[in-house]
């Protein structure tokens, strides 16, 4: 079956040799329609190559059930590789990855693109960060601040206890209206529990910039309290100035960003049948990372059918990066949004994508200099990227899982973490109230 290229060319020679080129769906190089029309970057590239060679070309549609092809037990191949090796076509229409098995049956051109295998999935949704109220400081700063607070509490308590113990004031001086500050100086009237409670409440009140009914007296206590009040003021001011920014910054939880993270999830993985990744997983060593992913893998023979499922988040996909970028661009052109993201850590790097020829046909020696010239001049990259002109609209921080600087109004969910702290404080206050009632009832009950 043949199909005309989107920009098919005819040589000026009366009877030019005509190349049979397999049209295998691989955006942005080859895109096939239901009516048999072939478009994509390879149409323009083939126009340049055949014009230089004084050839014509026609597209031969690939076998939709086998795609690139796999080696059979008898040594034959299915798919595109089988069609070319049997002489049913002269070359592949789109470049694909090479390995030692494929090199044994086909000749391959110089690389069109050096790409990488990556995973793509539905873009995560920004969510309110319940722990946003602790983000103004790091965990180390919070830990040090807590330790310093404990130190200040102990220092205030010990200074109070030492001052009241060493001074030994006369317990008979003073009347009923004597102030609380004088009472704290009388060890026989003020217990250690009272000293501890006043020290704790004052330390907490100063930390939260709240007033207190008790205030430290004496030179040493005044100096200590002044230093702590100043430190708490600085810490509180910086915290409040950064808190709003931390709450406005939404939390973006990526489902996965590495191969290991993907293998640890239960997300299905779509892989094109007979692709290199398919062959790697089928022959993976037991216990390896690829072997552990076998239960997640779904093998598909129709790549286009998987795109709606990827957009809905029903499955992920592993494919060359350039193919997934092309899919993102096509989705943006249709929906005016970028609903998918690409994991930042590649699965395989340095993936050479080359065009395959019939073994010994001599086309490699003719095509390689042209491809090399197109690549070195930058024209090859221009043709490929020109078919993905909207890629930059999706290759931004929002759509690829990086922090965003865009503003948004605060929502109720942004304060749930703070509400949890308040709720815990209320529950603690209630428990203290119950304990006080029980202790009071026990102490006042008749012996």
pLDDT at 416: 63
pLDDT at 365: 94
In sequence order, what are the beta bridge partners of 423?
Answer: none
Which tops the pLDDT comparison, 61 or 92?
92
What band does 88 get if pLDDT is binned at 50, 70 and 90?
Answer: very high
Question: Per-residue pLDDT for 12 more than 80?
Answer: no
pLDDT at 160: 78
Question: Per-residue pLDDT for 378 more than 70?
Answer: yes
* Across 239-268, average pLDDT: 78
Question: Per-residue pLDDT for 249 more than 90?
Answer: no
* Across 435-439, average pLDDT: 75
pLDDT at 307: 79
Closest by CA position to 398, among listed 388, 407, 386:
407
What's the helix, strand, coil split of the chain in %, to 5? 45, 15, 40
Q: Are 278 and 99 in contact (CB under 8 A)?
A: no
Strand duo 356-358 + 269-272: pairing? unpaired
Question: Per-residue pLDDT for 309 more than 80?
Answer: yes
Give the helix/strand (H/E) hosting 21: strand 18-23
Report the C-alpha gap between 190 and 177 in whole angstroms.
16
* Across 254-259, average pLDDT: 86
- E strands along 149-279, which residues? 269-272
Closest by CA position to 43, among listed 3, 15, 98, 97:
3
Q: What angle do CA 368, 369, 373 make, to 5 degrees?
A: 115
The count of other CB atoms within 10 Å of the CB of residue 120 is 21
- E strands along 63-105, which residues? 91-92, 96-97
pLDDT digits (tens, 9 = 90+) for 283-306: 888 888 888 888 888 887 666 777
What band does 173 get if pLDDT is binned at 50, 70 and 90?
Answer: very low
Q: Are 248 and 335 in contact (CB under 8 A)?
A: no
Question: Per-residue pLDDT for 117 more than 50?
Answer: yes
pLDDT digits (tens, 9 = 90+) for 20-38: 999 888 888 998 877 778 8
pLDDT digits (tens, 9 = 90+) for 398-427: 444 444 444 455 556 655 665 666 566 667
Which tops the pLDDT comparison, 206 or 407?
206
What's the mean per-residue pLDDT of the chain? 78
Question: Per-residue pLDDT for 165 more than 80?
Answer: no
pLDDT at 414: 56
Q: Are 108 and 357 in contact (CB under 8 A)?
A: yes
Q: Are 41 and 29 in contact (CB under 8 A)?
A: yes
Closest by CA position to 83, among listed 362, 364, 358:
358
The conformation of residue 71, written as its DSSP 8-state character, comes to B
pLDDT digits (tens, 9 = 90+) for 74-85: 989 988 999 999
What is the percent of the chain with per-residue pLDDT over 90, rounded to a whole number?
Answer: 21
Nearest-Å Rg of the Cα atoms of the chain is 37
* Across 379-404, average pLDDT: 70
Q: Could you tell me how many residues make up the chain? A: 447
Q: Are 45 and 36 in contact (CB under 8 A)?
A: no
What band does 130 get if pLDDT is binned at 50, 70 and 90?
Answer: low
pLDDT digits (tens, 9 = 90+) for 207-247: 877 777 777 776 677 777 777 777 777 777 777 777 766 66
* Across 318-347, average pLDDT: 87
Q: Are 328 and 400 in contact (CB under 8 A)?
A: no
Which tops the pLDDT comparison, 420 or 372?
372
pLDDT at 179: 44
């Amino acid at each position: 079956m043949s199909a005309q290229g989107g920009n098919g060319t005819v040589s000026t020679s009366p009877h030019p040799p005509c190349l049979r080129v397999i049209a295998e769906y691989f955006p942005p190089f080859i895109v096939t329609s239901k009516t048999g029309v072939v478009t994509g970057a390879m149409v323009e590239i083939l126009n340049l190559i055949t014009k230089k060679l004084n050839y014509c070309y026609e597209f031969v549609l690939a076998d939709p059930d086998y795609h690139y092809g796999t080696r059979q037990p008898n040594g034959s191949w299915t798919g595109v590789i089988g069609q070319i090796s049997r002489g049913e076509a002269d070359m592949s229409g789109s470049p694909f990855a090479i390995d030692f098995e494929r090199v044994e049956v086909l000749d391959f051109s110089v690389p069109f693109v050096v790409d990488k295998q990556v995973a793509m999935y539905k873009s995560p949704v920004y969510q309110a960060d319940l722990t946003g109220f602790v983000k103004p400081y790091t965990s180390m700063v919070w830990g040090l601040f807590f330790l310093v607070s404990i130190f200040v509490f102990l220092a205030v308590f010990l200074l109070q206890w030492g001052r009241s113990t060493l001074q030994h004031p006369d317990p008979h001086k003073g009347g009923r209206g004597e102030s609380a500050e004088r009472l704290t100086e009388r060890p026989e009237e003020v217990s250690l529990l009272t000293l501890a409670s006043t020290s704790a409440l004052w330390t907490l009140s100063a930390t939260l910039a709240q007033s207190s009914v008790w205030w430290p007296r004496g030179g040493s206590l005044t100096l200590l309290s002044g230093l702590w009040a100043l430190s708490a003021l600085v810490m509180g001011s910086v915290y409040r100035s950064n808190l709003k920014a931390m709450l406005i910054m939404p939390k973006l939880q990526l489902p996965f960003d590495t191969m290991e993270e993907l293998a640890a999830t239960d997300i299905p993985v779509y892989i094109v049948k007979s692709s290199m990744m398919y062959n790697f997983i089928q022959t993976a060593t037991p216990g390896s990372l690829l072997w552990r992913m076998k239960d997640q893998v779904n093998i598909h023979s129709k790549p286009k059918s998987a795109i709606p499922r990827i957009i809905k988040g029903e499955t992920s996909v592993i494919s060359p990066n350039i193919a997934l970028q092309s899919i993102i661009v096509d989705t943006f052109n249709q929906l005016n949004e970028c609903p998918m993201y690409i994991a930042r850590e590649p699965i395989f790097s340095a993936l050479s994508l080359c065009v395959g020829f019939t073994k010994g046909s001599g086309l490699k020696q003719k095509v390689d200099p042209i491809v090399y010239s197109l690549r070195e001049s930058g024209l090859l990259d221009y043709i490929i990227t020109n078919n993905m002109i909207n890629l930059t609209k999706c290759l931004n921080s929002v759509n690829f899982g990086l922090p965003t600087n865009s503003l948004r109004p605060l929502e109720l969910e942004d304060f749930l973490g703070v509400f949890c702290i308040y709720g815990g404080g209320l529950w603690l206050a209630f428990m203290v109230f119950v304990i006080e009632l029980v202790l009071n009832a026990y102490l006042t009950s008749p012996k």
